Chain A
């Protein structure tokens, strides 16, 4: 089976700068890592590949050349192949234009069985790119997947449990399908020595706009329906009160004050 995992490079720190002209994020300013939630997508893909006994896992990332680092990390964990989608025309893409490019790359990798993504990226936090790719590819979509309970190669289906507000929704999708997974999917593996050696030697294909045959007006900032028009840093501190509960009187005062707040909020049963 072939599984494609799109991954994203995100800032390692919370220090991210914004381009004051376009309002888009400037990524090169901060050290970058693989989106932590994408590691669960890689983990799920590697497990499915290994239990199926054959096939490959292809990691994809869209970004400037240094984004290759996340492909190297994916290979160190066990991915078979990595492809960098890099072109100056991809820059400034919102989720619409990002999913357009990723879907076009996945088209080129067909036939595929599954696309697996993380639930969302920890920087943009939109959770929109995974569903967007499914829409472009016109393949069934299951988001918030916590468990893959069955893969039926002959029937070309996958059965999963989606973590929703009031429990798990159990769905069966015909494949190829796209899954976005949550952390509950599986505990993460560590890179193996062999994987690290392979990653060090790995060379990655680079695909640009021409390779993907996406019209220029659908790429990058130009192809993005949304525009960031303002960035503000919110005031994080609330005008709260602090109670020192270092002694018995303090503990009693804290209990009274919290109970007052709870009553005021109308939540006491």
Chain B
């Protein structure tokens, strides 16, 4: 029996990478408690390869609930199924990624099972004396870090910020048990058809998947004109990156809301965040603080973004960005000719 559970997201027939990260967060907790770590996968078309990957990345047990009616994320049905599993197996801790699904499912589930929940944790640890889960998260726009625990209610639930940690190295020799949960009458009763998924629109113009991008190149007011986002796109294309924007740039109509980063936009943790002409308001910084590396390019030496940057360039983005593109191209050319 596993007492630390992780929710492994499965979407459109595929296991989401973030599932592996959450396992990485759960493993040290299970070890500290001397218990087993589980991954719970709900979806349709869950393969042996999926469960194998979860085991290789640290799961001792994988609970699989596979049904065509669970192919798409629908909060009520997923929450119902999980509430049933939690009542059956009584885990101590349940972790999920703070994705759009995780941040929808977990608060719904916390009510159903009367549990405490902490959102968007950046650190998790076990309190030595009590075995309680210590959950640390940024609040008030990242200006404070609050540590929260749930002393009396079980399970202790938390969402963890995606991409704030690397997935663990897989060990193909690890062994684990797969538990196929049958769709019995009790689970059938958890399905809720009041929500119907009609489809997806993934070809929207002016869309950006900032949450999953390794690199986000963000433009702010310093770009001066809508058309100048093209310069950032040129840079982003060389890094497989996406384009982010400050609230000011979005409010000016230069670029669409799916690009907005910050307190009223998306919270991101890319490997590299590059801010060009983005001054770094407190609200904006709240959305980028857990980026692995931060680069700031701004004419204003006092721009707040400079203060949180690993590399702060006080200069004109219209000079620095083209020079950077040229430097990247020069290096790539050099590498090619060296082959």
In whole angstroms, how far apart are the Cα atoms of A23 and B140 in the complex? 13
Binary flags per residue of B198-223, CB closer than 8 Å to A gives 1, else 0: 11111110010101101100000000
In whole angstroms, how far apart are the Cα atoms of A239 and B311 in the complex? 9
Tell me which of A16, A164, A225 contacts B114 (CB under 8 A): A225
Binary flags per residue of B111-148, CB closer than 8 Å to A gives 1, else 0: 11011111110000000000000100011111111111
Tell me which of B147, B196, B201, B215 contacts A267 (CB under 8 A): B215
Let me know if B271 and A265 touch, CB within 8 A.
Answer: yes
Let me know if A163 and B258 touch, CB within 8 A.
Answer: yes
Let me know if A14 and B282 touch, CB within 8 A.
Answer: yes
In whole angstroms, how far apart are the Cα atoms of A134 and B212 in the complex? 28
Q: Which residues of A sit under 8 angstroms from B134, Cβ to Cβ?
A: 229
Q: Which residues of B sit under 8 angstroms from A136, Cβ to Cβ?
A: 111
In whole angstroms, how far apart are the Cα atoms of A237 and B310 in the complex? 9
Binary flags per residue of A61-72, CB closer than 8 Å to B gives 1, else 0: 000000000000
B14 CB → nearest A CB, Å? 11
The B contact surface, by secondary structure, is mixed
Binary flags per residue of B171-208, CB closer than 8 Å to A gives 1, else 0: 00000000000000000000010111111111110010
Closest to A248 in B: B319
Let me know if A231 and B111 touch, CB within 8 A.
Answer: no
Closest to A149 in B: B198
Contact of B13 with A by CB under 8 A: no
Q: Which residues of A sit under 8 angstroms from B138, Cβ to Cβ?
A: 125, 234
Tell me which of B112, B119, B265, B307 contacts A126 (CB under 8 A): B119
Let me know if B196 and A164 touch, CB within 8 A.
Answer: no
Let me know if B323 and A232 touch, CB within 8 A.
Answer: no
Q: Which residues of A sit under 8 angstroms from B256, Cβ to Cβ?
A: 184
> Which of B33-41, B44-52, B53-61, B236-244 is the contact stretch?
B236-244
Let me know if A233 and B99 touch, CB within 8 A.
Answer: no
- Number of chain A residues close to chain B: CB under 8 A: 90
Binary flags per residue of A134-173, CB closer than 8 Å to B gives 1, else 0: 1110011111101000000000000101111111111111
- Given contacts A122-B263, A182-B257, A232-B145, whether A143 and B311 have CB atoms under 8 Å apart is no
Closest to A187 in B: B251
Closest to A10 in B: B140
Q: Which residues of A sit under 8 angstroms from B263, Cβ to Cβ?
A: 122, 125
Let me know if B146 and A231 touch, CB within 8 A.
Answer: yes
Contact of B90 with A by CB under 8 A: no
Q: Which residues of B sit under 8 angstroms from A141, Cβ to Cβ?
A: 75-76, 104, 108, 195
Let me know if B327 and A255 touch, CB within 8 A.
Answer: yes
Tell me which of A95, A250, A252, A262 contacts B107 (CB under 8 A): A95
Contact of A29 with B by CB under 8 A: no
Let me know if A165 and B144 touch, CB within 8 A.
Answer: no
Number of A-B contacts (CB under 8 A): 297
Let me know if A263 and B331 touch, CB within 8 A.
Answer: yes
Let me know if A135 and B108 touch, CB within 8 A.
Answer: yes
Closest to A16 in B: B140
Of B118, B146, B147, B331, which is in contact with the most chain A CB atoms at under 10 Å from its CB?
A: B146
B339 CB → nearest A CB, Å? 16
Closest to B116 in A: A225
Residues in A233-269 with C-beta less than 8 Å from chain B? 233-234, 236-238, 240-246, 250-252, 254-259, 261-263, 265-269
Q: Which residues of A sit under 8 angstroms from B264, Cβ to Cβ?
A: 36-37, 122, 183
Contact of A20 with B by CB under 8 A: no
Let me know if A258 and B201 touch, CB within 8 A.
Answer: no
In whole angstroms, how far apart are the Cα atoms of A250 and B323 in the complex? 11
Q: Which residues of A sit under 8 angstroms from B207, Cβ to Cβ?
A: 167
Contact of B314 with A by CB under 8 A: yes
Q: Which residues of B sit under 8 angstroms from A241, Cβ to Cβ?
A: 310-312
Let me know if B100 and A172 touch, CB within 8 A.
Answer: no
In whole angstroms, how far apart are the Cα atoms of A135 and B106 in the complex? 11
Let me know if B257 and A184 touch, CB within 8 A.
Answer: yes
Let me know if B141 and A125 touch, CB within 8 A.
Answer: yes
Of B142, B239, B292, B313, which is in contact with the most chain A CB atoms at under 10 Å from its CB?
A: B313
- Given contacts A170-B201, A225-B114, A228-B146, whether A127 and B311 have CB atoms under 8 Å apart is no
Nearest 7 A/B pairs, CB to CB: A245-B315, A225-B116, A167-B202, A135-B111, A128-B107, A255-B323, A230-B147
